[in-house]
Structure 1
């Protein structure tokens, strides 16, 4: 009896994970459990369609765009349209879509066209209308001044509501270092070493330049200190000589001309880099370091402290 009972308990512990079951004296009935998912019917129709703006937050900036444009007087827009022909898209709808795109740093008409099919905010603003990128671009060019005026008013409204700050500056494509730390410091020894190395490259390059082009032989003298202005004069002279060279069909001469143009570009790069090093030295003054994020800051930690931090 004990063996039968023990076997039954083991059996119940194994099958309870996978199945639902019930036991009648002498008989065990198994019912396989079913997986359950939430209903998913993409093409299901409903009797009362939902409003699309129900999924947009009440304090979303898109609602402010909608309200501001709705309150605008667009009577002067009517002169841009003809009474005959196909019905045009409503100018308020076009304004809302374009201005909201501008708010999100989107200026491409093709991207706006795609968002009108994908993004719920744009779909709501457009009222399910789908103007193509050509129509959007044509409207934008016709009312460019009006769009700028509306956009300016909208920015002021958003700033007043606290959605944006007018103290923030947006700089496109520019990387700016912030927070003065050991990685933002300019060190005198590093600048001087790199500057010396750069001057050596300049002299090697000048030695490769044609003797007839270089105005003064003194630039090759290591005792003469090269300056950015001297390199600018050399670059200008090289360009002037190359401009007055006769056009030729000889392959070797063409190759030589391409090489000289390459040398000029290298000299221009070296000149700019030398100017940068000279600016660093000017800012350093008598100091050994300064921060690029705050030129009056300088490194005060000792080498022992850096070594301790490195060991940690």
Structure 2
């Protein structure tokens, strides 16, 4: 009964538990759904925030499968995009990961300065205390280092400012480092979080009422659609869409026990890791990459003859030729990892002699002979994506993507007037966005009957 009441409330753009409680006493539709029961706002909020946790996604998936049976949608061709929705959190109670790093570095530097003072005091003596370890900065080691410095300066004529700094350090630095450790555990690799909702990350919002590009605590709402129905949803704590696609695709496959035939997305998802993952799953990736549109223009192809993409490659000799016809021989390869742990292989090529070359100023401005780097796997995947995107089917999907998935976000934010979460915490806001997604699907289907 409560589930029916809440979903109907979301269909009517009622999101506040107090307004739903009021509607149960005044609105005949709500009275009929509840069977004249009148749960208070605490009961409604408890059911929505706690009881539905971990269960709503299964119900949502069942509704999607019913829509498939009705012929309204299919799960073969999906359109993926993301939008940011503001969290129910204070905009000015933030913690920044970079700030924590700077503070820890500052403590380390000041400890080294204090030890330099100790060495200065003992300069004329033969015995100098053992140098402490400044590399590992944690509360226990910093406290031990401060004690060691105090012990070394015991009985010495110490500068008043140094005494004050040591007193302040002993009182504050260990506790501050414990606090920084707790904050880093909450961050989990993110750049920021909000104190009133630690799961929310500060993001730059398009819907900015102050029109000053202010960062606000928010969640990145990822959705896949078909025929303007939401087929799957997920919330991410990262500002960029690139790192969300892999988990989103796996979640979609797990939810419906079937693999989509194709996924269409904008350039925000175009990365080697995402292309590789979709290829391994056997999914056609109609996913743009950076500079895709620029490549389609005729001018851009001959715009920069010095770009590595425009240099001739000799596959037999494994070398490139610079614009002057000089060989650029292979200097080996190396691997690097992305933030997600994906391994990329980069091949390097270097020209033999760039001294005196009349094209050097235009070709490159680095010191020494020019070096170019090539990622052959990414080049192959981009070529594959380019072939798909420029095909007749690809052009059709590229045209359909904006009005398919972006129209859904427009409906949620403007027609349903849902621009800010009411609940806090990843689990609760996931339930809340699930209710919004279900309400969107049911409302759209009711209009087509």
- Structures share a fold, TM > 0.5? no
What is the TM-score normalised by the length of structure 2? 0.23
What is the TM-score normalised by the length of structure 1? 0.31
Q: Which has the larger share of helix?
A: 1
Q: Which has the larger share of strand?
A: 2
Higher relative contact order (CA 8 A, sep 6+): 2
